Amino acid sequence: MTSNRLIAIPAAIAITASAAWGITFQEETRPAAEVELVLSTYKDALESLDVSDTQSLFTQNSRIFETGKYEGSYSDYLAHHIGPELGHFESFTFSDYEVDVQFEGSVALASETYNYRIEIEGREPVERQGVATSALVQDDGEWRIAVMHNSSRPLN
């Protein structure tokens, strides 16, 4: 009888502790999921070759860096780089996509790793390995990208 009590008490402690950790875990991951949603919404827009509704994912004074060049704000990047560039693509697909989100105070720091393939009519497909780092902040109650830097290299 005593041995059953010894097993029952640790089991009760484990269940209580698990419940407490589960609540804490859910509270800590909820903002990460919100940040991941912003990033995946942007990735999905790229894959659909339509970034016309992506301005709201970025802060007004955002800063975009791509492969060693400062592109300006997202508005600049949209008007002068990624917007026109997507018009030449037949497809843009991501694979092996992974994201990690960490918080430093009120800032979310995200790192993304992925492979991508771009198909342009009359050309060989472009296959690259890419990374992106982003800093997101709360703006009007929504997570928005304030700084994004991405770079890539030929796929090995």
Give the model confidence (pLDDT) of 50-109 as tens digits: 999 999 999 999 999 999 999 999 999 999 999 999 999 999 999 999 999 999 999 999
* Domain residue spans of the chain: 31-154
The pLDDT of residue 29: 58
Q: Are 135 and 147 spatial neighbours (Cβ–Cβ below 8 Å)? A: yes
Q: Provide the percentage of residues in the chain whose pLDDT is more than 70.
A: 81
| Adjacent-strand bridge partners of 18 | none
* Fold category of 31-154 in CATH: Nuclear Transport Factor 2; Chain: A, (3.10.450)
Q: Which residue has the higher pLDDT, 25 or 31?
A: 31
**pLDDT(45) > 70:** yes
Cα–Cα distance measured from residue 19 to residue 28, given in angstroms and rounded to the nearest whole number: 14
Cα–Cα distance measured from residue 111 to residue 119, given in angstroms and rounded to the nearest whole number: 25
Cα–Cα distance measured from residue 99 to residue 133, given in angstroms and rounded to the nearest whole number: 10
- Give the residue from 42, 63, 62, 60 showing the smallest Cα distance to 52: 42
Q: Which residue has the higher pLDDT, 45 or 30?
A: 45
